[in-house]
Structure 1
Amino acid sequence: MHVMRVLRVAILLSSLVYSTAQKGRGFIGKDTGDGTAEVDQETANVLKSGLTTVFLPVLYIIVVVVAIPTNAMAVWVFLFRTKKKHPAAIYMANIALCDLLFVIWIPLKIAYHFRGNDWTFGEGLCKVLVAFFYGNMYCSILFITCLSVQRYWVIAHPLSEQRRNNRVAIIMSLSIWVFIWLSTTPLYLYDQTVKIRNLGITTCHDVSVIHNPTYPLQDVKHAFGYFLFMAVFGFLIPSVVIIVAYTGLLRILGDSPDDQSVGKKRRKSVILIVTVLVTFLVCFVPSNIMLVVHYSLLATGASDNGYGFYITTLCLASLNSCLDPFIYYYISEDFRENVKNTLLCRSSRTVDRMKVSFSSLKYSKKTNTYTSESGQTQTSSC
């Protein structure tokens, strides 16, 4: 019921503002009728500025350098080094896979900006890049939401059945991937590239045409309705769920007796909350707010003088691929141990033998030594 009301409001608002859309300025291409568009001087200045041709590609390079090895390592660890699969591991593996599927396309974005925002890779690859960009953002939000709820569930119901939780985690993961696939499908229906005649370049998702008679689906009102829908169901509602989950988590830990195990859980929970909070404040909150503001301004025909900030927030959204590995690292001791063993080139069998060998040693506090069953003595190096 509430979903239908939101959709009706979005459609009604889009219809009301579309009548003035033809008067719009600011980062909207003016259709010339020959398959190209022209932009005003303000738009041209931003497209030629150092913000889009230097700063943004450098930031994307940092994302690639950090995100590809860390997320590739995470996928490897979760798939091949983690023996005991649990709900948190399932959600984290999906986040890592989502990030990896996105960052492998970023080199195209880097080349695009370094070439003066001139897209030379064709319409198809531009659509793929745009779809994976937004798919990654909302996919990460939804899986972080599941991870946060699961963290609350483990603390609130420590005796819950593990197999049932795994089944729920798998069902939720499949549902999220289906939702992302369906929700990004409309992005393939838009012509994402626009040829700018007065600049001699072809932009990718950086310039919107108010109304293209050849492609009616490219009206700004449809884009505004789409991003409003995604902001509500892909960002706002999950954010509320995360806030409720963490509030309940902190309340439960606050009411628990102060002992070593509870203190450890409390520290891990606080680190998780801070990491997720930083990710949302840097990556998701600014980008989703500016997406709605930007397209609402275009739909009402107003000038978007904050376009530079808008395009920067979209770039910052890609930083979630760098921050997500910190969530895996701090929330899972198994992940930390498996990463260390992988970097040291230890196989799982070697680790198991080391554990068995270590467990057979008897430790003496007085002499700081370990004694094996055969009577041999080893000095602790710790």
Structure 2
Amino acid sequence: MNASKYAENCSEEHLYDTSEFKYSMSSILYSFLFIVGFPVNIASLCFLVRSKKGVTEIKIYMISLTIADLLFVTFLPFWIDYYYRSGDWIFSSFLCSLWGSLFYVNTYNTIFLLALISFTRYLAVSQPVKVAQSRQNRRGFALTALIWTITISAALPILINHNDHIVKVGNRSRCFEYYQQSDTKTKLLILHLAMLLGFIVGFGVVIANSILILQRLSIAKEMLRPSQRLKTRAFRMVLAVLVIYIFCFLPYHIVHLVWTLLVLNFWKSKDCAFRKSVNDVHQVVLCLMSINCILDPVLYCFLTKNFKQYLKELTQSWGQKCTIRRSPKPEEIQLS
């Protein structure tokens, strides 16, 4: 529905139809994320698993983060098909809920794991000797298991009530776009407020660690010299985490709160232009948040100095295989 028609019929249910650009935008972006994100995260997981340095706390978080990103990009073809069909879900309602659940599991696993990674880097900066002598593997496994348990438990109601998330609109089946039942709206509001709280906690941890690491780096050079490289790399990593939070997650959570209140009709605004603008911006920030699945591997360049070299060697290896498999041209064959 275009803006002029929406202005004539400004009702709650028509709010969903005011951002038709989202179908082409999302199908293109998700296709790009799948093409880039799948091989990059596979390469990252292989590197982390095959690393000879043993299991460390931060490595546990990185492997878990990569698995979450892989689950997200693996199911992207379903969403690409949905947006390519201009919002028509042709699969089962369970698959719709499964993809939606994976979206939230990936998002908040990433938020919490990035917060833990930044905290672990702060410990490495503030207590380098103690951290080097201790292997907090148990803490890493316990916190990772706790995060997965929390996010999966929060997503279970979406899977159990999968029929609530498919709504027939004309000849199309909308997935995660229409919510008309009052009891469903209340549950969704509580869920989204809990997600916002989770983001605020994670963001607060990242900001605090960034400030603390900056303070450590401001100490006199003679005190930092024994571990200067470690501390500088830690700061660059935490800064990268902060950029991911600000670029991917912060815009979404600011806009999503307003959008949720409008969509669930808890905020009964009669300003049609305002409601349409919020819906348009929400589609954009939703796409921005999805980009985190290909930004997360960037962190590995700061956390593991050999990762960039590994990717380079892997790319060269694939290139050599393609060259070897290529059949020689007739002019390249020489008689002995």
Under a length normalisation based on structure 1, what TM-score does the superposition of the two structures give? 0.73
- Tell me the residue number matched to 2:96: 126
Q: Work out whether 1:253 is the aligned partner of 2:217.
A: yes
- Per-residue CA shift, 1:177-218, capped at 9, x if unaligned? 111111212222351111113xx211111222243xxxx4x2
- Tell me the residue number matched to 1:187: 158
Shift of 1:343: 4.4
- Tell me the residue number matched to 1:302: 269
DSSP-derived class of the 1:299 partner: coil
Give 2:238's match in structure 1, choosing from 263, 273, 285. 273
Give 1:90's match in structure 2, choosing from 54, 60, 67. 60
Structure 1 window deviating more from structure 2 (254-263 vs 288-297): it is 254-263
DSSP-derived class of the 1:227 partner: helix
Give 1:319's match in structure 2, choosing from 291, 302, 311. 291
Contact 2:248/2:292 (8 A) holds in 1: yes
Distance in 2 (alpha carbons) for counterparts of 1:113 and 1:205: 12
Shift of 1:262: 4.7
Shift of 1:344: 5.1
Give 1:335's match in structure 2, choosing from 289, 301, 307. 307
Give 2:147's match in structure 1, choosing from 176, 185, 193. 176
- Tell me the residue number matched to 2:40: 70
CA gap of 1:54–1:96, structure 2 versus 1, over 3 A, is same
Shift of 1:311: 2.0
Contact 2:72/2:103 (8 A) holds in 1: yes
Shift of 1:164: 3.9
Distance in 1 (alpha carbons) for counterparts of 2:289 and 2:312: 29
- Per-residue CA shift, 1:301-360, capped at 9, x if unaligned? 3353211111221121110001101011222114334444544559xxxxxxxxxxxxxx
CA gap of 1:117–1:194, structure 2 versus 1, over 3 A, is same
Q: What code does the residue aligned with 2:304 have?
A: S
- Residue identity (%): 24
RMSD over aligned Cα, in angstroms?
2.3
DSSP-derived class of the 1:255 partner: coil
CA gap of 1:276–1:310, structure 2 versus 1, over 3 A, is same
CA gap of 1:290–1:178, structure 2 versus 1, over 3 A, is same
CA gap of 1:331–1:283, structure 2 versus 1, over 3 A, is same
Contact 1:145/1:239 (8 A) holds in 2: yes
Under a length normalisation based on structure 2, what TM-score does the superposition of the two structures give? 0.82
Give the gaps of 5 or more residues in structure 1: 1-24, 29-38, 347-382
Distance in 1 (alpha carbons) for counterparts of 2:11 and 2:27: 20
Distance in 2 (alpha carbons) for counterparts of 1:133 and 1:26: 30
Contact 2:61/2:117 (8 A) holds in 1: yes
Q: What code does the residue aligned with 1:231 have?
A: L
Distance in 2 (alpha carbons) for counterparts of 1:171 and 1:101: 21
CA gap of 1:321–1:339, structure 2 versus 1, over 3 A, is same
Distance in 1 (alpha carbons) for counterparts of 2:89 and 2:55: 43
Q: Work out whether 1:264 is the aligned partner of 2:229.
A: yes
DSSP-derived class of the 1:194 partner: strand
Distance in 1 (alpha carbons) for counterparts of 2:208 and 2:252: 22
- Per-residue CA shift, 1:247-302, capped at 9, x if unaligned? 11111121142566654335423422332222112211111122211122232333
Distance in 1 (alpha carbons) for counterparts of 2:316 and 2:226: 29
Contact 1:148/1:242 (8 A) holds in 2: yes
Contact 2:118/2:241 (8 A) holds in 1: no
- Per-residue CA shift, 1:164-184, capped at 9, x if unaligned? 412211111111111111121
CA gap of 1:266–1:160, structure 2 versus 1, over 3 A, is closer
Contact 1:27/1:43 (8 A) holds in 2: no
Higher strand content, 1 or 2: 1
Higher helix content, 1 or 2: 2
- Per-residue CA shift, 1:38-58, capped at 9, x if unaligned? x43x54343xx2x12211111
- Tell me the residue number matched to 1:5: none
For 1:32-181, what aligned pairs fall within 5 Å after superposition?
39-40=13-14, 43-46=16-19, 49=20, 51-160=21-130, 162-181=133-152
Count of residues in Structure 1 that have an aligned counterpart in Structure 2 = 299
Distance in 2 (alpha carbons) for counterparts of 1:341 and 1:260: 32
Contact 1:224/1:292 (8 A) holds in 2: no
DSSP-derived class of the 2:129 partner: coil
Give 1:208's match in structure 2, choosing from 179, 194, 218. 179
- Per-residue CA shift, 1:224-262, capped at 9, x if unaligned? 111011110x20011111111121111112114256665
Contact 2:56/2:135 (8 A) holds in 1: no
